[in-house]
Chains A and B, each alone.
Chain A
Amino acid sequence: MVEHGIHATQAVVTLDVALPGIIWGWMITLNMWAKSVGTGVILVGAFLLYRHKKEAMPNLRWMMPLISFIFLNIFLLFTLTDLHQPYRMINIFLHPHWTSAITVGAWMASLFTGLITLMMVIGFFDAHPDARKHGACAKAAREHSALYEKIFPFVVFLAVPVTLYTAIIMAESTARELWQAPTEVMQMMWAALLAGSAGLIFVSGSWSKESRKDLALVLAIATFFSFMMYMGEYFFSFKSAEAEATLAYVHSGGEYNAEFWFGMVLGFIIPFFLAVKNMKEDNKTLLRFAAILALVGLYLVKDVWLKIPQMLPLS
């Protein structure tokens, strides 16, 4: 029968070398996830400071840079650890190649982390007047307290390209067509807003109801648009043959299909409804639960999106 033979008229690879498997694995997923939190808390923090008085969020001034500092360091640690020659990371600064988004990103992220460290030190010693009263560092930080407000606008401005440069790395990864979509930029931005609002929710216990309501609003909007963008990628086929073949790893079932849908439900759908509900009734526990789910789900979705394009044979 001809229809049984159609398959066989296609080419079959009968001898080839072993192909590399997944090259950028969980460490890169963790790297992107942690960066989303690190920059997201600054972006969402800036939004809250624009909307509310500082007194409504008493610990924001030092907790915001502290959370950012911790997650940026997780991001930098796993960036370094994923290198096969970690000590040569210094070459990015000694021999920079400026067409590479990796180079530009490394410089911006380093500067951003430096400024965040400064803000964290000033913010902490201002918030804790009794801590290390006679220490030189604490004294200097308190003396230059006004510096915090001066550098903050620049830090907020810098948080945007630091959030987005990973999307440019994806765009430069010409071999992985799934990452070539312009929506990648918006996915990174929504991920940062989602992770940033989720991160700040954990320290918002003492804040005013209105500011917590705004946090829930940002979380709801970010989860909604993240979900919509992934659904667009999943269902619409206005894309290249390679990107379609890549998505087949999700469409055809299996572990990546399960991970993707777990991410969608845990990370976006449930937190969206919890956040919307929380805008009416201020329930701190429920909001924290939504934040945890959103962060777990975001990791799962990022993991799928990172790995499946690497499974496609390139040659």
Chain B
Amino acid sequence: MKLGFLVDLNLCMGCKGCEVACKVENEVPLGSWRLRVKYIDIGTFPDTSRSFTPLRCNHCESAPCERICPVSALHYLENGIVNVDNSRCIGCAGCMMACPYGAIYMDPETNTADKCTYCAHRVESGMMPACVVICPVQANIFGDIDDDTSHISQYIMEHQGAVQVRKPEKHTSPKHFYVGGGNQTLNPLAQQRLEGYSLFNNITHLEHVGDPHHGVIDRFLAPFAGHEHLDNKSFMDFENKAHESHEEEGGH
């Protein structure tokens, strides 16, 4: 068995239902995402179009994150899922350096690496991932790509020539496919990311990695001092000024 994922970008309408379902199912803290839907505008007014690209872990067959993890916190399950054991993670962020898709984050509550696991706990119980169940247009297709009769295998066969993966040149053999994607939607270098500008907010970069309330010394004291209670409010930072400095640094 080799589980894979396919998103038909022609069907996705950017409702972000999958994003919310993932957050709720996996209790992902504010400021962190296992799955996100990126809006990309193409063209000049009035000839513009907007495309929506859901982005999550690609569960690569040759996963760089698994290879670089010094303690096997990132490991393969028998069904092909790249799982993460955050009780073993040492928080070195090597996986964040290795993942070409930027799919791994440092959980601010546990200070360990985390990412999409294709809802491995649900899959184990015979259920579909939360993002698949919630999608109102069935743009998310999940299943066994080793099985020729599975829905995902048949969908791939029906759309031969139009099925793409992100960054194939990295030789990671992603098990996450897109139908209806193009260079402008799947290649981050083909997109302009205007710092400080977005539809609903101007926060473009996180100020911190991991727990914002734990400095270097706190990391050592944490087991003795007890963890400060964190709720969603404690991660909200409307005074984030990180984008200002990046404006000067960037040009991208």
Contacts and interface: CB of A to CB of B under 8 A. Distances in A.
B36 A16 contact: yes
Contact of A174 (B33, B170, B210): B170
A95 B72 CA distance: 7
A173 B172 contact: no
Of B92, B105, B219, chain A has the most CB atoms within 10 Å of the CB of B92
Interface string A300-315: 0000000000111111
A97 B68 CA distance: 8
Interface stretch (A145-153, A228-236, A249-257, A284-292): A249-257
Contact of A18 (B88, B99, B203): B203
A241 interface: yes
Nearest to A315: B102
A18 B202 CA distance: 9
Interface in B30-82: 31, 33, 36, 38-44, 50-51, 55, 64, 66-72
A11 B111 contact: no
Interface string B160-194: 00000010011010000000000011001111111
A84 B218 CA distance: 10
Interface in B85-118: 88-94, 96-103, 105-106, 111-112
B184 A311 contact: no
A77 to B, nearest CB: 11
A11 B190 contact: yes
Interface of B: 31, 33, 36, 38-44, 50-51, 55, 64, 66-72, 88-94, 96-103, 105-106, 111-112, 166, 169-170, 172, 184-185, 188-194, 197-200, 203-207, 209-211, 216, 219-220, 223, 240, 242, 246, 248-252
Interface of A: 5, 7-21, 23-24, 27, 81-89, 91-92, 95-97, 99-103, 106, 169, 172-176, 240-242, 245, 248-249, 252, 254-256, 310-315
30 contacts: A12-B40, A13-B38, A17-B33, A17-B36, A19-B204, A19-B205, A20-B105, A21-B205, A21-B209, A21-B246, A84-B211, A85-B90, A85-B111, A87-B223, A88-B71, A88-B90, A95-B72, A96-B71, A97-B69, A100-B67, A173-B68, A174-B64, A174-B99, A245-B252, A254-B249, A254-B251, A255-B248, A311-B249, A313-B102, A315-B188
